[in-house]
Structure 1
Amino acid sequence: MAEFMQFSISRLKGLLCGLGVVCCWTMAIPASLAAEKITIQLGPFQQTVEISDLEDFARSGKLPQDLQVFSSFLTPQVRGLLNQKFQVNPDGGDKFIDELAKTPQGKQLISSLGGIIPGSTSQSLKDTLSLTLRRVNGLSVLGFLRSYPGENITVDATKAVSFSLDFNPANLQSQAFGALLERELIAKSDVVLPKNINPAFAGNQAVQFVSLTLRDSRRNRTIPVDIYAGSAPTQKQTQQQIKQPLVVISHGFGANRQFLRYLALHLASHGITVAAIEHPGSNAIAVNHAANNSDLAKLLPANEFIDRPQDVSFLLDELTKLNSQPGQLQGKLNSENVTIIGHSLGGYTALALVGGKLDLGALRKFCSNSLGIGEAPGDWLQCAATGLKDGNFDLRDKRVRSAIALNPLIGNLFGKNGLSQINTPVLMLAGTDDALTPALKHQFTPFTQLRGSNSKYLLTAIGGTHLSISDPMYQVSEVTKIAKEKRGAETKNLREMLCGLSLAFIKKQTNEAKIYQPFLSSTYAQSISTTELPLRLVSDLPSNLKKWAEYAAK
Structure 2
Amino acid sequence: SVASLETFAKEGKIDANLKQFLARVTPEAREQFREALLTKIDIDPVLLSRFFNSVMGADMLSRLGKSITIQGGINGKYALRGAIVSAAFEPGGLTLLNILKKLPNHIQLQGEEILGLAKALDYAIYVSELFTKDMRLWTAEEAAAVKPAINYASLPDLRQRGSFQVKKEVWNLTDSSRNRSLYVDVYIPQTFRDDKTPVIIFSHGLASRPEDYAQAIEHLASYGFLVAAPQHPGSDIKYLQGMLAGYYRNIFDRDEFINRPQDISFVIDELARRNDSQFQGKLNLTNVGVAGHSFGGYTAIAVAGASIDFDNLAKDCNRSYSGINISIFLECRALELPRQVYNFRDERVAAVFAANPVNRSIFGEKGLSKISIPVLLGSGSYDPAANPIFEQAISFTWLKTPDKYLAMVEGQAHVNFTELDAGMQKTLESVVDITLPNQNLIEDYTGALLVSFFEVYIANNEKFRPFLLSSYAEYLSQGEKFKLDFITAASDEKLSQLIEKLRVHRQ
Please report the RMSD computed on the Cα atoms of aligned residues, expressed in angstroms. Answer: 4.1
Give yes or no for contact 2:381–2:413 (8 Å, CA) kept in 1. yes
Distance 1:206 1:292, change over 3 A: same
Which aligned pairs between 1:162-201 and structure 2 lie closer than 5 A? 169-170=123-124, 173-186=127-140, 187-188=143-144, 189-190=146-147, 191-194=149-152, 195-201=154-160
Distance 1:15 1:145, change over 3 A: farther
Shift of 1:499: 1.3
Of residues 403, 414, 419, the one that matches 2:368 is 419
Q: Which runs of 5+ in 1 are unaligned?
A: 21-30, 33-38, 55-65, 85-114, 130-140, 148-163
Give 2:448's aligned residue.
500
Give yes or no for contact 1:206–1:269 (8 Å, CA) kept in 2. yes
Of residues 283, 286, 291, the one that matches 2:239 is 286
Give yes or no for contact 2:306–2:367 (8 Å, CA) kept in 1. yes
**Structure holding more helix per residue:** 2
Q: Output the amino acid matched with 1:45.
A: L
- Provide, for residues 229-248 of structure 1, a one-character-per-residue CA deviation record: whole Å limited to 9, x for no partner: 1112xxxx5433xx132000
Shift of 1:379: 1.3
Give yes or no for contact 1:339–1:506 (8 Å, CA) kept in 2. yes
The 1-side partners of 2:408 and 2:320 are apart by 27
Give yes or no for contact 1:229–1:332 (8 Å, CA) kept in 2. no
Shift of 1:223: 1.3
The 2-side partners of 1:435 and 1:253 are apart by 15
Distance 1:389 1:511, change over 3 A: closer
- Provide, for residues 126-173 of structure 1, a one-character-per-residue CA deviation record: whole Å limited to 9, x for no partner: 9x79xxxxxxxxxxx6456579xxxxxxxxxxxxxxxx9x95753553
- Provide, for residues 266-314 of structure 1, a one-character-per-residue CA deviation record: whole Å limited to 9, x for no partner: 1221111000111000001102211331844x32322111110001111
Of residues 315, 324, 336, the one that matches 1:365 is 315
Which aligned pairs between 1:140-539 and structure 2 lie closer than 5 A? 142-143=100-101, 169-170=123-124, 173-186=127-140, 187-188=143-144, 189-190=146-147, 191-194=149-152, 195-232=154-191, 238-240=193-195, 243-293=196-246, 295-296=248-249, 298-325=250-277, 327=278, 329-370=279-320, 372=322, 374-453=323-402, 455-467=403-415, 470=416, 474-476=419-421, 490-509=438-457, 513-529=461-477, 530-539=479-488
Q: Secondary structure, in 3 states, of the residue corresponding to 1:348?
A: helix
The 2-side partners of 1:222 and 1:269 are apart by 28
Give yes or no for contact 1:248–1:340 (8 Å, CA) kept in 2. yes
Shift of 1:458: 0.8
- Provide, for residues 485-518 of structure 1, a one-character-per-residue CA deviation record: whole Å limited to 9, x for no partner: 9999714233212212211111113675321111
Give 1:41's aligned residue.
43
Shift of 1:336: 2.2
Give 2:81's aligned residue.
none
The 2-side partners of 1:381 and 1:407 are apart by 13
The 2-side partners of 1:176 and 1:117 are apart by 41
Distance 1:7 1:78, change over 3 A: farther
Q: Secondary structure, in 3 states, of the residue corresponding to 1:305?
A: helix
Distance 1:10 1:449, change over 3 A: same
Distance 1:67 1:546, change over 3 A: closer
Give yes or no for contact 2:135–2:486 (8 Å, CA) kept in 1. no
Q: Percent identity?
A: 26
Q: Output the amino acid matched with 2:176.
A: S
- Provide, for residues 210-251 of structure 1, a one-character-per-residue CA deviation record: whole Å limited to 9, x for no partner: 11011112222111101111112xxxx5433xx132000000
Shift of 1:473: 5.1
Q: Secondary structure, in 3 states, of the residue corresponding to 2:311?
A: helix
Q: Output the amino acid matched with 1:504.
A: S
Give yes or no for contact 2:297–2:357 (8 Å, CA) kept in 1. yes
Give 2:62's aligned residue.
75
The 1-side partners of 2:66 and 2:34 are apart by 13
Distance 1:230 1:70, change over 3 A: closer
Distance 1:118 1:545, change over 3 A: farther
- Provide, for residues 96-133 of structure 1, a one-character-per-residue CA deviation record: whole Å limited to 9, x for no partner: xxxxxxxxxxxxxxxxxxx9898549xx999x79xxxx
Q: Number of matched residues?
A: 447
Give yes or no for contact 1:435–1:483 (8 Å, CA) kept in 2. no
